[in-house]
Amino acid sequence: MPRPSPIPVLVLTGLSGAGKSTALNVFEDLGFFCVDGLPASMLPKLVSLYEGQEVLPGKGLALGMDIRQQDFLRQWGQARQDLAQYDISLQVIFIEAELPELMRRYATTRRPHPLESEQLGLQQALELERNLLEPVRAEADLVLDTTHYSVHDLRRVLQEKWSYLEEQTSGLRVHIISFGFKYGPPKEADLLFDLRFLPNPYFDLLLRPLTGKDQIVADYVFQDESGKLFANKLMEFVLFLLPLYAREGRFRVTIGLGCTGGRHRSVAAAEMLFRNLKEQGYAVSLEHRHIEKG
């Protein structure tokens, strides 16, 4: 494949058991040259092999890295510095899941966690890993919580998110999540808005089977003056905050919009915010976490 400029380099990392290997398979299917378990110190050396070459073995490089590698954190910091000399587009996806779900997955597979020892049980190992990787998570271009995902859900979401990562190789990225409070708010949200004060389409039997993606539902949600005013104030507030986050060097901001079931009001508001931020030139992605449950 002809070499693109800059070279796409995708690093998949995160918590053990969260789905990194599955995610790497998705990018292999998307046409990337994939390597799992690559030591972070080898990343600049691998990139240097393709610097100046006219042909890549795929759309780019997708590399799996995690805490199994000895001295991963120190090597990763040095690797990021060394990569500055190359003409690449580096994207980091951090994959995580909630502690009870990770413990359930390990109980199912019966495999040991890489940090388990005579001194550390599974829960302590998982908690230690999360704390150790927090600096990597903070710098990631995309954080993906797989707690409620099946393998098929993860594949679909990653395929959708990749188009978002391709749109813009630098600057602040915004991820919008609609959700239902009855199923729990997203823990990764930086900003969280409760929309349960808006008119609820659930109580209209004609609207109940629909979702906030349908224009008739959105019109219902924002029909009165308070709804219209909220929509304007929300946009005004978010557009005020995002440049301030960017000025502080933030890579990513996640916005959670919640209603009772995550099917109508939160979805309508998330769709509205997504469209408006796209029009403003932001690299923005959208996830309706509970739309099928609500």
244 marked among binding-site residues: no
Sheet with 61-64, edge to edge strand ranges: 33-36, 61-64, 7-14, 88-96, 142-145
The identity of residue 45, as a single letter, is K
- What are 228's two structure tokens? 């219209």
State yes or no: 21 annotated in a binding site: yes
| Residue 20 marked in a binding site | yes
**Per the annotation, does 163 bind a ligand?**
no
- Token pair of 16, please? 């053990």
How big is the CA angle at 181 (ends 285 and 293), to the nearest 5 degrees? 75
Residue 17 is assigned to a ligand binding site: yes
Question: Could you give the CA distance from residue 183 to residue 31 in angstroms, rounded to a whole number?
Answer: 35
Which phi and psi angles does 75 have, rounded to 5°?
-65, -40
State how far the Cα of 164 lies from the Cα of 283, in Å rounded to an integer.
Answer: 7
- The alpha carbon torsion through 75, 132, 37, 151 (nearest 10 deg) reads -150
Q: Which of 72, 64, 85, 71 is nearest to 6 (CA)?
A: 85
Where are the alpha helices (H) located in 13-59, listed in sequence order? 20-29, 43-50
**Residue 160: C-alpha distances to residues 25, 96, 166, 251 (Å):** 15, 18, 11, 19
Q: Tell the residue number behind the tokens 């000895």, with chain if given.
A: 70
Task: Determine whether the annotation assigns residue 68 to a binding site.
Answer: yes
Q: By three-state DSSP, how is residue 154 classified? A: helix
69 is in an annotated binding site: yes
The answer to whether 104 is annotated as binding is no
- The structure tokens listed for 87 are 């003409």
Instruction: Summarize the annotated binding site for GTP as residue ranges.
Output: 66-69
Instruction: Summarize the annotated binding site for ATP as residue ranges.
Output: 14-21
Instruction: Summarize the annotated binding site as residue ranges.
Output: 14-21, 66-69
